[in-house]
Amino acid sequence: MKIANIDLGPRPVLLAPMEDVTDIGFRLLCKRFGASMVYTEFVSAEALVRSVKATERKLAISDDERPVGIQIYGRSVDAMVEAARIVEQARPDLIDLNFGCPVKKVAGKGAGAGMLQNIPLMLEITREVVKAVSLPVTVKTRLGWDASHIIIPELAEQLQDCGISALTIHGRTRAQMYTGEADWGPIADVRRNPRIKIPIIGNGDITTPEQARRAFELYGVDAVMVGRATFGRPWIFKEIRDCLDLGPGAPPPLTTDEKIDVLLEQLRINVERIDEYRGILHTRRHLAATPVFKGIADFRPTRIAMLRAETTAGLTAIIEQARQMLARRDNTQAPQ
Protein backbone atom coordinates (compact mmCIF):
# COMPACT_ATOMS: atom_id res chain seq x y z
CA MET A 1 0.00 0.00 0.00
CA LYS A 2 1.25 3.48 -0.86
CA ILE A 3 0.42 6.92 0.47
CA ALA A 4 1.53 9.13 -2.43
CA ASN A 5 5.07 7.82 -3.04
CA ILE A 6 5.50 6.32 0.46
CA ASP A 7 5.50 2.52 0.16
CA LEU A 8 4.24 0.97 3.40
CA GLY A 9 4.21 -2.63 2.20
CA PRO A 10 1.32 -5.10 2.41
CA ARG A 11 -1.34 -4.69 5.12
CA PRO A 12 0.44 -1.87 6.98
CA VAL A 13 -0.15 -1.22 10.67
CA LEU A 14 0.29 2.38 11.82
CA LEU A 15 0.85 4.01 15.20
CA ALA A 16 -1.81 6.65 15.89
CA PRO A 17 -0.78 10.19 16.86
CA MET A 18 -1.55 10.68 20.57
CA GLU A 19 -0.90 13.59 22.90
CA ASP A 20 1.63 12.82 25.68
CA VAL A 21 2.07 9.30 24.27
CA THR A 22 3.80 9.21 20.90
CA ASP A 23 7.04 10.90 21.89
CA ILE A 24 10.19 10.08 19.97
CA GLY A 25 11.34 7.27 22.29
CA PHE A 26 8.05 5.45 22.01
CA ARG A 27 7.90 5.95 18.25
CA LEU A 28 11.36 4.48 17.79
CA LEU A 29 10.39 1.36 19.73
CA CYS A 30 7.12 0.94 17.84
CA LYS A 31 9.01 1.27 14.58
CA ARG A 32 11.53 -1.36 15.67
CA PHE A 33 8.73 -3.76 16.55
CA GLY A 34 7.13 -3.44 13.12
CA ALA A 35 4.99 -0.29 12.94
CA SER A 36 4.74 0.54 9.24
CA MET A 37 4.46 4.25 9.98
CA VAL A 38 4.45 6.39 13.12
CA TYR A 39 3.10 9.85 13.97
CA THR A 40 4.20 12.52 16.39
CA GLU A 41 1.99 13.85 19.13
CA PHE A 42 -0.54 16.19 17.54
CA VAL A 43 0.58 19.79 17.26
CA SER A 44 -1.47 22.95 17.78
CA ALA A 45 -1.27 25.15 14.69
CA GLU A 46 -1.87 28.30 16.71
CA ALA A 47 0.90 27.44 19.20
CA LEU A 48 3.27 26.62 16.37
CA VAL A 49 2.60 29.93 14.67
CA ARG A 50 3.26 31.71 17.98
CA SER A 51 6.59 29.84 18.30
CA VAL A 52 5.69 28.16 21.60
CA LYS A 53 8.84 26.22 22.48
CA ALA A 54 7.06 23.19 23.96
CA THR A 55 5.10 22.84 20.72
CA GLU A 56 8.15 23.32 18.51
CA ARG A 57 9.90 20.48 20.38
CA LYS A 58 7.22 18.09 19.15
CA LEU A 59 8.53 18.54 15.60
CA ALA A 60 11.79 16.73 16.40
CA ILE A 61 11.99 13.52 14.39
CA SER A 62 14.67 10.95 13.68
CA ASP A 63 15.58 9.29 10.40
CA ASP A 64 15.44 5.97 12.29
CA GLU A 65 11.66 6.25 12.65
CA ARG A 66 10.80 6.99 9.02
CA PRO A 67 8.30 7.05 7.51
CA VAL A 68 6.91 9.49 10.06
CA GLY A 69 4.02 11.93 9.91
CA ILE A 70 3.43 15.13 11.87
CA GLN A 71 -0.20 15.88 12.70
CA ILE A 72 -1.54 19.41 13.20
CA TYR A 73 -4.88 20.73 14.42
CA GLY A 74 -6.53 24.13 14.43
CA ARG A 75 -9.65 26.06 13.47
CA SER A 76 -8.23 28.81 11.24
CA VAL A 77 -7.27 28.51 7.58
CA ASP A 78 -4.39 30.94 7.92
CA ALA A 79 -2.97 29.29 11.05
CA MET A 80 -3.24 25.79 9.60
CA VAL A 81 -1.55 26.85 6.35
CA GLU A 82 1.27 28.65 8.15
CA ALA A 83 1.70 25.74 10.57
CA ALA A 84 1.86 23.28 7.68
CA ARG A 85 4.64 25.33 6.09
CA ILE A 86 6.55 25.35 9.39
CA VAL A 87 6.06 21.59 9.75
CA GLU A 88 7.34 21.03 6.22
CA GLN A 89 10.70 22.45 7.29
CA ALA A 90 11.00 19.66 9.88
CA ARG A 91 11.03 17.19 6.95
CA PRO A 92 8.41 14.62 7.93
CA ASP A 93 7.24 12.20 5.26
CA LEU A 94 3.70 13.61 5.36
CA ILE A 95 1.46 16.09 7.15
CA ASP A 96 -1.76 14.85 8.73
CA LEU A 97 -4.73 17.09 9.55
CA ASN A 98 -6.52 16.26 12.78
CA PHE A 99 -10.28 16.55 12.33
CA GLY A 100 -11.02 13.80 14.85
CA CYS A 101 -9.80 14.67 18.35
CA PRO A 102 -12.94 14.66 20.54
CA VAL A 103 -11.64 16.18 23.78
CA LYS A 104 -13.36 19.33 24.98
CA LYS A 105 -10.31 21.61 24.94
CA VAL A 106 -9.87 20.85 21.22
CA ALA A 107 -13.29 19.95 19.76
CA GLY A 108 -15.10 22.38 22.06
CA LYS A 109 -13.18 25.23 20.44
CA GLY A 110 -14.05 24.13 16.92
CA ALA A 111 -10.82 22.26 16.11
CA GLY A 112 -10.28 18.50 15.86
CA ALA A 113 -13.63 16.72 15.77
CA GLY A 114 -15.27 20.13 16.19
CA MET A 115 -14.71 20.55 12.45
CA LEU A 116 -17.42 17.93 11.90
CA GLN A 117 -19.88 20.74 12.66
CA ASN A 118 -18.33 23.04 10.08
CA ILE A 119 -17.64 20.98 6.97
CA PRO A 120 -17.13 23.97 4.65
CA LEU A 121 -14.32 25.22 6.88
CA MET A 122 -12.82 21.73 7.15
CA LEU A 123 -12.73 21.45 3.37
CA GLU A 124 -11.30 24.94 2.93
CA ILE A 125 -8.50 24.22 5.40
CA THR A 126 -7.75 20.94 3.63
CA ARG A 127 -7.65 22.50 0.15
CA GLU A 128 -5.44 25.38 1.25
CA VAL A 129 -2.96 23.18 3.15
CA VAL A 130 -2.67 20.80 0.18
CA LYS A 131 -1.88 23.80 -2.05
CA ALA A 132 0.59 25.30 0.41
CA VAL A 133 3.00 22.37 0.84
CA SER A 134 4.78 19.89 -1.39
CA LEU A 135 4.48 16.99 1.08
CA PRO A 136 1.58 14.52 0.94
CA VAL A 137 -1.33 15.69 3.11
CA THR A 138 -3.63 13.21 4.83
CA VAL A 139 -6.66 13.54 7.13
CA LYS A 140 -7.83 11.74 10.26
CA THR A 141 -11.47 12.14 11.27
CA ARG A 142 -14.53 10.36 12.70
CA LEU A 143 -17.84 9.04 11.39
CA GLY A 144 -19.66 12.27 12.22
CA TRP A 145 -20.64 14.47 15.12
CA ASP A 146 -23.20 12.05 16.58
CA ALA A 147 -25.27 9.00 15.63
CA SER A 148 -27.80 11.20 13.81
CA HIS A 149 -25.09 12.67 11.61
CA ILE A 150 -22.99 9.85 10.14
CA ILE A 151 -21.52 11.89 7.30
CA ILE A 152 -18.31 10.02 6.52
CA PRO A 153 -19.50 8.47 3.20
CA GLU A 154 -20.01 11.90 1.61
CA LEU A 155 -17.20 13.56 3.56
CA ALA A 156 -14.64 11.02 2.34
CA GLU A 157 -15.40 11.96 -1.28
CA GLN A 158 -15.24 15.67 -0.47
CA LEU A 159 -11.88 15.32 1.28
CA GLN A 160 -10.49 13.26 -1.59
CA ASP A 161 -11.56 16.02 -3.96
CA CYS A 162 -9.50 18.46 -1.86
CA GLY A 163 -6.37 16.55 -2.86
CA ILE A 164 -5.50 14.47 0.21
CA SER A 165 -3.36 11.36 -0.23
CA ALA A 166 -5.05 9.11 2.38
CA LEU A 167 -7.88 9.17 4.91
CA THR A 168 -7.93 7.64 8.39
CA ILE A 169 -11.39 7.01 9.83
CA HIS A 170 -11.99 6.37 13.53
CA GLY A 171 -15.14 4.27 13.80
CA ARG A 172 -16.83 6.46 16.40
CA THR A 173 -18.67 9.77 16.43
CA ARG A 174 -17.45 12.75 18.40
CA ALA A 175 -20.34 12.26 20.82
CA GLN A 176 -19.05 8.78 21.65
CA MET A 177 -15.61 10.07 22.61
CA TYR A 178 -13.88 6.74 23.35
CA THR A 179 -16.90 4.91 24.77
CA GLY A 180 -18.89 2.05 23.27
CA GLU A 181 -17.64 -0.02 20.37
CA ALA A 182 -16.12 1.33 17.20
CA ASP A 183 -18.37 0.83 14.17
CA TRP A 184 -16.36 -0.32 11.19
CA GLY A 185 -19.39 -0.66 8.91
CA PRO A 186 -19.24 2.93 7.60
CA ILE A 187 -15.47 2.56 7.14
CA ALA A 188 -16.09 -0.48 4.94
CA ASP A 189 -18.75 1.47 3.01
CA VAL A 190 -16.19 4.16 2.23
CA ARG A 191 -13.64 1.60 1.13
CA ARG A 192 -16.19 -0.10 -1.17
CA ASN A 193 -17.15 3.19 -2.82
CA PRO A 194 -15.75 2.90 -6.38
CA ARG A 195 -15.16 6.64 -6.49
CA ILE A 196 -12.67 6.47 -3.60
CA LYS A 197 -9.17 6.04 -5.01
CA ILE A 198 -7.04 7.05 -1.99
CA PRO A 199 -6.04 4.58 0.76
CA ILE A 200 -8.53 4.20 3.61
CA ILE A 201 -7.04 3.53 7.04
CA GLY A 202 -9.30 2.05 9.73
CA ASN A 203 -8.97 3.01 13.39
CA GLY A 204 -10.80 2.05 16.56
CA ASP A 205 -10.66 -0.86 19.03
CA ILE A 206 -7.70 -2.66 17.47
CA THR A 207 -6.38 -4.24 20.67
CA THR A 208 -5.26 -7.72 19.53
CA PRO A 209 -3.51 -9.21 16.50
CA GLU A 210 -6.68 -11.09 15.58
CA GLN A 211 -8.71 -7.87 15.50
CA ALA A 212 -6.17 -6.33 13.14
CA ARG A 213 -6.35 -9.36 10.86
CA ARG A 214 -10.17 -9.28 10.83
CA ALA A 215 -10.13 -5.55 10.03
CA PHE A 216 -8.31 -6.31 6.79
CA GLU A 217 -10.37 -9.38 5.96
CA LEU A 218 -13.86 -8.14 6.89
CA TYR A 219 -13.71 -4.44 6.07
CA GLY A 220 -11.22 -4.32 3.23
CA VAL A 221 -9.23 -1.37 4.62
CA ASP A 222 -5.85 -0.57 3.13
CA ALA A 223 -4.22 -0.18 6.55
CA VAL A 224 -5.10 -0.21 10.24
CA MET A 225 -4.07 2.31 12.87
CA VAL A 226 -3.55 1.31 16.50
CA GLY A 227 -3.97 3.81 19.32
CA ARG A 228 -4.69 3.17 23.00
CA ALA A 229 -3.72 -0.52 22.85
CA THR A 230 -0.10 0.54 22.35
CA PHE A 231 0.20 2.25 25.77
CA GLY A 232 3.08 0.52 27.55
CA ARG A 233 3.01 -2.13 24.84
CA PRO A 234 5.09 -1.17 21.79
CA TRP A 235 5.62 -4.86 21.10
CA ILE A 236 1.97 -5.13 19.99
CA PHE A 237 3.25 -4.29 16.50
CA LYS A 238 5.41 -7.41 16.50
CA GLU A 239 2.42 -9.48 17.64
CA ILE A 240 0.24 -8.04 14.88
CA ARG A 241 2.89 -8.39 12.18
CA ASP A 242 3.55 -12.01 13.21
CA CYS A 243 -0.19 -12.74 13.00
CA LEU A 244 -0.55 -11.08 9.59
CA ASP A 245 2.65 -12.34 8.00
CA LEU A 246 3.40 -15.68 9.65
CA GLY A 247 0.16 -16.97 11.16
CA PRO A 248 0.50 -20.21 13.15
CA GLY A 249 4.21 -20.38 12.32
CA ALA A 250 4.96 -17.15 14.17
CA PRO A 251 7.65 -17.17 16.87
CA PRO A 252 6.54 -17.02 20.52
CA PRO A 253 5.68 -13.60 21.97
CA LEU A 254 8.17 -11.70 24.08
CA THR A 255 8.77 -13.03 27.58
CA THR A 256 7.91 -10.94 30.62
CA ASP A 257 11.61 -10.22 31.17
CA GLU A 258 11.99 -9.05 27.58
CA LYS A 259 8.99 -6.75 27.92
CA ILE A 260 10.39 -5.19 31.09
CA ASP A 261 13.70 -4.67 29.28
CA VAL A 262 11.78 -2.78 26.56
CA LEU A 263 10.15 -0.51 29.16
CA LEU A 264 13.55 0.22 30.69
CA GLU A 265 14.93 1.01 27.25
CA GLN A 266 12.01 3.37 26.64
CA LEU A 267 12.92 5.19 29.85
CA ARG A 268 16.56 5.44 28.78
CA ILE A 269 15.72 6.74 25.30
CA ASN A 270 13.31 9.34 26.65
CA VAL A 271 15.79 10.63 29.22
CA GLU A 272 18.57 10.80 26.64
CA ARG A 273 16.49 12.47 23.93
CA ILE A 274 14.43 14.83 26.11
CA ASP A 275 15.79 15.29 29.65
CA GLU A 276 15.51 13.39 32.91
CA TYR A 277 12.45 15.16 34.31
CA ARG A 278 10.32 15.15 31.15
CA GLY A 279 11.69 11.80 30.02
CA ILE A 280 10.40 10.23 33.23
CA LEU A 281 7.03 11.96 32.89
CA HIS A 282 6.63 10.61 29.34
CA THR A 283 7.53 7.09 30.48
CA ARG A 284 5.23 7.11 33.52
CA ARG A 285 2.12 7.12 31.32
CA HIS A 286 3.21 3.89 29.69
CA LEU A 287 4.20 2.28 32.98
CA ALA A 288 0.75 3.11 34.38
CA ALA A 289 -0.99 1.49 31.40
CA THR A 290 1.25 -1.45 30.54
CA PRO A 291 -0.35 -4.89 30.90
CA VAL A 292 2.98 -6.32 32.11
CA PHE A 293 2.37 -5.53 35.78
CA LYS A 294 -1.30 -6.47 35.90
CA GLY A 295 -2.23 -9.31 38.22
CA ILE A 296 0.57 -8.84 40.74
CA ALA A 297 -0.78 -9.23 44.27
CA ASP A 298 -0.46 -6.18 46.54
CA PHE A 299 1.10 -4.16 43.72
CA ARG A 300 -0.60 -0.86 44.52
CA PRO A 301 2.19 0.61 46.73
CA THR A 302 4.78 -0.32 44.11
CA ARG A 303 2.68 1.22 41.33
CA ILE A 304 2.27 4.45 43.30
CA ALA A 305 6.02 4.61 43.93
CA MET A 306 6.65 3.97 40.23
CA LEU A 307 4.43 6.87 39.24
CA ARG A 308 6.02 9.22 41.78
CA ALA A 309 9.67 8.46 41.02
CA GLU A 310 11.64 11.54 40.01
CA THR A 311 15.05 10.10 39.08
CA THR A 312 16.12 7.56 36.50
CA ALA A 313 17.95 5.50 39.11
CA GLY A 314 14.96 5.51 41.44
CA LEU A 315 12.47 4.54 38.74
CA THR A 316 14.78 1.82 37.40
CA ALA A 317 15.09 0.32 40.89
CA ILE A 318 11.29 0.21 41.29
CA ILE A 319 10.84 -1.44 37.88
CA GLU A 320 13.46 -4.04 38.85
CA GLN A 321 11.56 -4.60 42.09
CA ALA A 322 8.42 -5.24 40.03
CA ARG A 323 10.39 -7.69 37.90
CA GLN A 324 11.27 -9.66 41.03
CA MET A 325 7.63 -9.64 42.16
CA LEU A 326 6.60 -11.09 38.80
CA ALA A 327 9.28 -13.76 39.02
CA ARG A 328 8.07 -14.80 42.50
CA ARG A 329 4.47 -14.90 41.28
CA ASP A 330 5.37 -17.01 38.27
CA ASN A 331 7.44 -19.41 40.37
CA THR A 332 4.52 -19.83 42.77
CA GLN A 333 2.09 -20.53 39.93
CA ALA A 334 4.42 -22.96 38.12
CA PRO A 335 3.35 -26.63 38.27
CA GLN A 336 5.24 -28.62 40.92
Residues carrying an active site annotation: 101
Neighbours of 211 (CB within 10 A): 17
Alpha carbon distances (Å) from 247 to 14, 64, 211 = 19, 28, 13
User: DSSP assignment, residue 149?
Assistant: -
- Asked if 254 contacts 265 with a C-beta cutoff of 8 angstroms, the reply is no
Three-class SS string for the chain?
A: CEECCEECCCCCEEECCCCCCCCHHHHHHHHHCCCCEEECCCEEHHHHHCCCHHHHHCCCCCHHHCCEEEEEECCCHHHHHHHHHHHHHCCCCEEEEEECCCCHHHHCCCCHHHHHHCHHHHHHHHHHHHHHCCCCEEEEEECECCCCCECHHHHHHHHHHCCCCCEEEECCCCCCCCCCCCCCHHHHHHHHCCCCCCCEEEECCCCCHHHHHHHHHHHCCCEEEECHHHCCCCCHHHHHHHHHHCHHHCCCCCCHHHHHHHHHHHHHHHHHHCCHHHHHHHHHHHHHHCHHHCCCCCCHHHHHHHHHCCCHHHHHHHHHHHHHHHHHHHHHHCCC
Neighbours of 175 (CB within 10 A): 17
The maximal CA–CA distance of the chain, rounded, in angstroms, is 69
Question: Could you tell me if 84 and 95 are in contact, meaning their C-beta atoms sit under 8 angstroms apart?
Answer: yes
